[in-house]
Amino acid sequence: MREEIELAYVGVEIPDPAQLTTFFADVIGLVAGEPGAEGSLTWRNDDAVHRVIVDRGPANDVAFLGFAARDPQAFDAVTARLAHAGFDLSDGSLEDLRRRRVGRLARTSAPWGVPVEIVLDLQRVSTPFWSPLVPGGFLTQGVGFGHTVFATAAIDEADRFVVAGLGLVQSDWLEMEIAAGINLEVRFYHGNSRHHSLALARAPFELPQTLHHIMFETKERDDVGAAFDRAWAADLPIPNGLGRHDNDGMFSFYVTSPAGFQVEVGHGARVITDDWDDNRRYDRISVWGHQPLRQA
């Protein structure tokens, strides 16, 4: 396994960043980071200075995605590989480094329409992470903050970007008929022991919202249940109640944020090992559960 990059942060853009404050703080159990420029708000799930950056803007979608390189050699290897695969990069400005709170930054554009930033030395805060709502904390050590899933009509070019460019490896894929004549296809990719840091769903056309969901993994199983209770009590849409995925084995549920994208809170996913040889098709999303509980 290369273990060159891990998911560093995701940026979303919504008209009013404060619209997500109750959701992230009181439902998911993230901790507020320092506010950024121009009214942006930031959220943490570990000691990194920010993991979710909520910018003010009209997109109502993901705005950028950051991958942190393990060291300068990995940074150079990944950026060289992207360039070699035909994905042009530009160096971040000093303003970019200041805003993202990183030492180096190179930016390219993913075929699913999202700027992707390769960064080095994401700052950490000096006070250890503590969320009273998630007492066990989140699993991020060596695996990034979680995973993100996007829908794209350009899945083949996106696959090339991820595999030949970023250097992630496909873990497995899902292919199933979800309704008569309607197929769901999702490809899952890893760059470290997390089963997937990124997944791409084939969309028949570009959807109004590219970001399907962000996943945060708790270290304790009960912290998933407690988050579910908070989502339920908050009367938020719950597109998928508690269940267990077939491919990564994760115990999780999905709640829809006020911005429309979903957040999955999960625990206990399978771990990728150096001898991973289970890259195969799955034809069901879940072993059990994940029922649609409450619609928007």
DSSP 261: -
- Residue closer to Fe ion, measured from CB, 166 or 215: 215
Shortest Å, Cβ 51 to Fe ion:
16
Strand order in the sheet with 198-202: 281-282, 169-179, 182-190, 198-202, 147-152, 211-217, 262-267, 251-256, 240-245, 286-289
8 A C-beta contact, residue 62 and residue 76: no
Helix (H) or strand (E) holding 37: none
Amino acid at 171: S
Return the number of other C-beta atoms located less than 10 Å from residue 180's C-beta: 5
CA distance 94 to 36: 15
Binding site for Fe ion (CB under 5 A): 215, 264
8 A C-beta contact, residue 9 and residue 145: yes
| CA nearest to 257, candidates 231, 276, 275 | 231
**Length of the chain (residues):** 296
Written as six digits, the tokens of 60 are: 């109502």
Residues in CB range of 175: below 8 A, 6 or more apart: 183, 184, 185, 281, 282, 283
